[in-house]
Amino acid sequence: MSKTTKKKHVSREVLEDFFVPEGDEQIARVVCGRGNNLHEVENARGEKFLCSMPSKFRRSVWIKRGDFVIVEPIEEGNKVKAEIIHILYPKQIRYLKNEKAWPAEFQSQDEIEKKETRDDGKLFVNPNRQHLLDDTSSSSSYSSSHSDDESKD
């Protein structure tokens, strides 16, 4: 299978499949990336541990801090306690909430984050952009000098 075909199948699996955790699988939130395809995650009980990303996801799917994943525990690891088996996107999270499989601990955090984003008083300001002052006097002087030049012709 070519790389492009593999990426197509993996992305289709990640975006279109709806998955409910079974057995000892659990939903976890990504706390941060630790490098080398390891991510620190936090489960619903508040326990933090490392989990690995399988090779099929490595160059096809990206996850960031705050994303939700389904992990499966592994026994042979001392530091790495689980492996990511599914990455959850908003449609899949809604499906899990409708199936009553979403942990209540993550539900309350979700609602708090939604309320914070709705607050119009706290708009995000990009610190990487220069904010130029709106100087209307320079634009009006340009337009008046430009009109003077046209009247001389």
Q: What are 80-99's pLDDT values in tens digits? A: 999 999 989 888 899 999 99
pLDDT tier at 136 (50, 70, 90 boundaries)?
A: low
Lowest mean pLDDT among 39-43, 57-61, 85-89, 140-144: 140-144
Answer whether 142's CB lies under 8 Å from 150's CB. Answer: no
Mean per-residue pLDDT, 96-120: 70
Which band of pLDDT confidence, cut at 50, 70 and 90, is reported for residue 38?
A: very high
Amino acid at 60: S
Q: How do beta strands 80-88 and 48-52 pair?
A: parallel
What's the rounded mean pLDDT across residues 35-47?
Answer: 94
Report the pLDDT value the prediction gives residue 52, as an integer from 0 to 100.
95
Residue 77 is encoded by which pair of tokens? 């690891």
pLDDT at 73: 94
Distance CA 114, CA 101 (A): 20
- Of 28, 113, 97, residue with least CA distance to 63: 28
Burial of 152 (0-12, 13-18, 19+ CB in 10 A): exposed
Instruction: Output the average pLDDT for the chain.
Output: 78
Provide the CATH topology of domain 3-104: OB fold (Dihydrolipoamide Acetyltransferase, E2P) (2.40.50)
d(CA 133, CA 1): 55
Segment 51-69 mean pLDDT: 88
pLDDT value at position 109?
Answer: 56
pTM strictly above 0.75? no
Please state the rounded mean pLDDT for residues 1-9: 67
